[in-house]
């Protein structure tokens, strides 16, 4: 990997937005009551990334209780096909914001919320992103493969991608 890039402000938001825009699901990690971590897949809403990520969830899910006890969360996005990966740290909030539920609603959610947008279990999960870290390949799969071989032969002296951090200031 090349030297880590540090991004902030609009450039950082744009970079993270570009990397996660085509990745439909993220793994959301919360702190469990016993101090361990729980992770589960969540469908990311298809919205322009502005430092906030939105999800719909059920009130009776364990993650809601875990977030009530500790609002720190992590999100992991992976796109192995394009060799791009993003980890996100943020603070979560769960609400019953009916306007936001309406805005985010998609008919596929009926599988989880049979009562539709008015289902009593449906909640909005908002994650305010504090920072992110990303890794991405710079080249096509064939070029990457050749670079991986060269990196192995030169003990890592060949640049095979980019690593960066993003600080989201509010």
For the stretch 19-37, pLDDT in tens is: 999 899 999 999 999 999 9
Confidence of residue 2 (pLDDT cuts 50, 70, 90): low
Radius of gyration of the chain (CA): 18
Reported confidence tier of residue 149, pLDDT bands at 50, 70, 90: low
Global pTM value: 0.82
User: Is CATH 3.40.50.10860 the classification given to domain 5-167?
Assistant: no
Distance CA 151, CA 70 (A): 41
CA separation, residue 21 to residues 17, 41, 44, 77, 112 (Å) = 6, 16, 9, 10, 23
For 78-125, the pLDDT digits (tens) are 999 888 999 999 999 999 999 999 999 999 999 999 999 999 999 999
Answer whether 127's CB lies under 8 Å from 92's CB.
yes
* Higher pLDDT pick, 57 / 165: 57
Residue 110: the pLDDT is 93
Q: So where are the chain's domains?
A: 5-167
**pLDDT score, position 68:** 97
Question: Which span out of 9-18, 57-66, 145-154 was modeled with the highest average pLDDT?
Answer: 57-66
- Mean pLDDT score of the chain: 87
Half-sphere exposure of 133 toward its Cβ, with a 13 Å CA cutoff?
A: 5
- Closest Cα partner for 107 from 89, 119, 93? 119
Helices (H) and strands (E) in the chain, counts: 4, 8
């Amino acid at each position: 990997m090349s030297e880590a890039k540090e991004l902030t402000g609009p450039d950082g938001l744009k970079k993270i937005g570009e990397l996660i825009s085509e990745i439909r699901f993220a793994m959301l990690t919360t702190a469990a009551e016993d101090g361990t971590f729980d992770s589960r897949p969540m469908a990311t809403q298809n919205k322009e990334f502005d430092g906030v990520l939105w999800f719909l969830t059920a009130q009776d899910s364990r993650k809601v209780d875990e977030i009530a006890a500790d609002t720190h969360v992590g999100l992991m996005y992976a796109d192995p096909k394009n060799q791009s990966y993003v980890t996100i740290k943020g603070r979560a909030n769960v609400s019953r914001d009916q306007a936001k539920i309406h805005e985010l609603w998609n008919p596929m959610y009926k599988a989880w919320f049979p009562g539709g947008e008015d289902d009593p279990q449906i909640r909005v999960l908002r994650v305010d992103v504090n920072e992110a870290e990303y890794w991405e390949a710079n080249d096509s799969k064939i070029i990457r493969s050749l670079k991986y071989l060269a990196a192995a032969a030169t003990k890592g002296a060949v640049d095979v991608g980019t690593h960066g951090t993003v600080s989201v200031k509010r």
